[in-house]
Amino acid sequence: MADSQPLHLLIVSGGRDLPDRARDASAGLRTTVICRPEVVPRLRSREKIQRLIVLREDAPEDEWVAAARFVHAVDPVDRLTNFTEKDTEKTAAIGAALGLTWHSTETVRAVADKAEMRRRLASAGLGDVVAEVVHDVEGVLKVGERTGYPLICKPVRGVASKGVTRIDGPADIERALAWGATGAGDLDSPELMVEPFLTGEEYSVEAVSEDGEHLVVGVTRKISEPVHFVEVGHVVPAPLPTEDAERIGAAVRTALEALGVRQGVTHTEVIVAPETVHIVETHLRPAGDEIPELWARTTGVDLIEVVARQAVGRKVLDDVRAALGAPGDRPGAAAIWYACPDAVGEIVEVTGTDEARALNGVVDVEVLREPGKRLKGVTGSFARGAHVCAVGATQEEALLRAREGVRKISFTVRSSGMAERHEILAEHSG
């Protein structure tokens, strides 16, 4: 490629505003998108895309690679990325076929398949948690006999807390398998996994990797409801003693090394017991739930911007490290809390958002399920109704402000022909 020729970035799937951010990071950036039909309506700035290739939902991996080879033949591709959690194995296969830098096929497989991830982590000395792929009640019973109860049942390739259930004994197994199958229905694999229920405090770790070096940006406190483990709140930075934060960070760095991660922003979920840091799962993407925005407000590190810059080949680690070490007039903490209406029916009206925005410290209020949408109870992350973000001098102050904002919001839901108002209680305080 001539020095004057702008970069050509091949994007698999969509990425919301990330393609536009990548264009801002690389003057004249040219982009090609290969995606499924479902992604097309969500593509932003379509007029800026040089070419768009849409493959049917069930197109095999070889077809995705062939499409990328065609693009590369007519307009050589310089960089490859996938800003989402969909079709990552196809992206890795394209990278291997075209000789483009991205996560390896082995890394993507290990991260996507939770059972394989467990094997990789165990070989690196990170725990010996029994994790078995199960297909029926008998399979779960065998795990229960080996490890005892409670257990956790989840889709092997699950996202957004979909299909996750605690099993306290044999009587819960059929219900858990049915719930897991529902959660895995639109994922790349229908398989379910069972492992012992781990006890301890829940956190996530946001990190940036560059050329195999892993820098922890921070540890996020996670608050979940107790039945299906839907996340209802997050606080940054997590209120932790320095030594605990350091051992959590060390465990995550070891996990990323064991999984072969060399580049990118990662989001790793952990459960911390007095003697052990259990790695629950990791993701080759930034956190959801506005967590990157919380960290940007408290540290000045914009993790979404980091992703965009790395996509076009920019080095980022020195800038991230400098931002973390720079003094700034920023709030000491930030938090998000979710409105989780435990109702089933059609949303008729959502009120109280203006009152929530008017509260001291509240910086963002967003309705996630608008009138006309249906609620199905607290079934997964996509069932949450609204969120409130707030900042404060301390973690406690930020969290209290976010929860108070959620208390202002109420949903009117029509169920069985009758409209009922559901006020949101700030439960699950953790």
pLDDT at 273: 84
Residue 429 pLDDT > 50, yes or no? no
Strands 410-415 and 386-392 turn out to be unpaired
Sign of the CA dihedral running 196, 201, 206, 207: negative
pLDDT at 207: 98
Which structure tokens are listed for 23? Answer: 């264009």
The ranges assigned to domains in the chain are 8-102, 130-196, 201-330, 334-423
Percent of the chain at pLDDT > 90 equals 59
pLDDT at 162: 66
117-175 pLDDT, tens digit each: 888 888 888 866 667 777 788 888 888 888 888 888 887 765 555 678 788 888 888 88
What DSSP state is assigned to residue 51? E
> What is the domain class of 201-330 according to CATH?
alpha beta
Q: What is the mean pLDDT of the chain?
A: 88
Residue ranges of alpha helices (H) inside 314-418 are 317-325, 353-357, 395-407
Residue of higher predicted confidence among 177 and 100:
100
Residues 192 and 158 sit within 8 Å (Cβ to Cβ) = no
> What is the domain class of 8-102 according to CATH?
alpha beta
Residue 214 pLDDT > 90, yes or no? yes
pLDDT at 353: 96
Residue of higher predicted confidence among 133 and 268:
268
pLDDT at 424: 55
Residues 79 and 100 sit within 8 Å (Cβ to Cβ) = yes
Q: How far apart are CA 313 and CA 105, in angstroms?
A: 20
Q: How far apart are CA 261 and CA 339, in angstroms?
A: 35
Q: How far apart are CA 421 and CA 344, in angstroms?
A: 12
Strands 374-376 and 277-283 turn out to be unpaired
Residues 244 and 272 sit within 8 Å (Cβ to Cβ) = yes
Q: Answer yes or no: CATH 3.90.1170.50 is held by domain 334-423.
A: yes
Sign of the CA dihedral running 309, 314, 317, 322: negative
pLDDT at 379: 55
Residue of higher predicted confidence among 421 and 241:
241
Q: Which of 117-121, 156-160, 190-194, 259-263 has the highest mean pLDDT?
A: 259-263
316-371 pLDDT, tens digit each: 999 999 999 988 889 999 999 998 877 778 888 999 999 999 999 999 999 998 89
Q: How far apart are CA 126 and CA 118, in angstroms?
A: 9
Compute CA distances 290 → 364, 391, 398, 419, whole Å: 10, 13, 14, 31
Q: Given 3.30.1490.20, 3.40.50.740, 3.40.50.980, 3.40.1280.10, which CATH number is that of 130-196? A: 3.30.1490.20
pLDDT at 147: 82
Angle at 365 between CA 362 and CA 367, to 5 degrees: 160
